[in-house]
């Protein structure tokens, strides 16, 4: 429910944010390492900056690359997250950032002849990264993070492109 409210607020605020030039949209490939299963996903992010240093970010990932673990298969269904972002501009075209928030990721596992089960990692999520802008508006982004749940956790690595509006 919290993520739905954050998403609705972001959609309603988007036209005003685009007009002020405080929005970045990014997309890329994410590698989830969850308890030894390395899973791939396509990830989209939208970030709104309140000022030069502070912002809020929403994230959606859809699993595209399953992992074979023993005789079974593990797959990421989806992952949703909401983060606070702090950025540190190093030069006009390069910046470092940190982010912390909440993420909910759903996984499925199946073993032939034994059936399937699902699990999730819901809880604190945090990480660091950097962005290099090749032009005033287009750049590349890379980050590493950790998603922690009550019983499980996942290390997360993302690389992709970013557009600044």
Read off the CATH number of the domain in which 97 is found.
2.40.160.20
- Residues 99/101/102/107 CA torsion (nearest 10 deg): 10
- pLDDT 10s digits, 18-72: 445 599 999 999 999 987 789 999 999 999 999 999 999 999 999 998 888 888 8
Number of domains observed in the structure of the chain: 1
Identify the domain containing residue 66 by its residue range.
2-164
Q: For residue 115, what pLDDT is reported? A: 84
**pLDDT band at 140; cut points 50, 70, 90:** very high
Q: Of all residues in the chain, what percent carry a pLDDT higher than 90?
A: 65
Q: Which helix (H) or strand (E) holds 14?
A: helix 2-20
pTM above 0.75, yes or no: yes
Q: Of all residues in the chain, what percent carry a pLDDT higher than 70?
A: 87
Q: Answer whether 38's CB lies under 8 Å from 157's CB.
A: no
C-alpha span between 130 and 97 (Å, rounded): 6
Residue bearing the bigger pLDDT, 68 or 8 = 68
**pLDDT band at 131; cut points 50, 70, 90:** very high
């Amino acid at each position: 429910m919290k993520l739905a409210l954050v998403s609705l607020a972001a959609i309603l605020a988007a036209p005003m944010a685009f007009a002020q030039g405080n929005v970045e949209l990014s997309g890329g490939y994410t590698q989830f390492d969850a308890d030894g299963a390395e899973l791939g996903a396509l990830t989209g992010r939208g970030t709104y900056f309140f000022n030069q240093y502070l912002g809020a970010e929403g994230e959606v990932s859809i699993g595209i690359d399953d992992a074979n673990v023993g005789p079974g298969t593990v797959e990421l269904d989806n992952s949703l997250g909401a983060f606070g972002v702090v950025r540190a501009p190093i030069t006009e075209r390069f910046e470092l950032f940190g982010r912390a928030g909440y993420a909910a990721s759903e996984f499925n596992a199946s073993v032939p002849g034994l059936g399937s089960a699902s699990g999730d990692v819901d809880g604190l999520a945090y990480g660091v990264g950097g962005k290099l802008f090749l032009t005033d508006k287009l750049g590349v982004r890379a980050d590493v993070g950790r998603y922690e749940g009550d019983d499980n956790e996942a290390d997360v690595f993302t690389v992709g492109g970013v557009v600044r509006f």
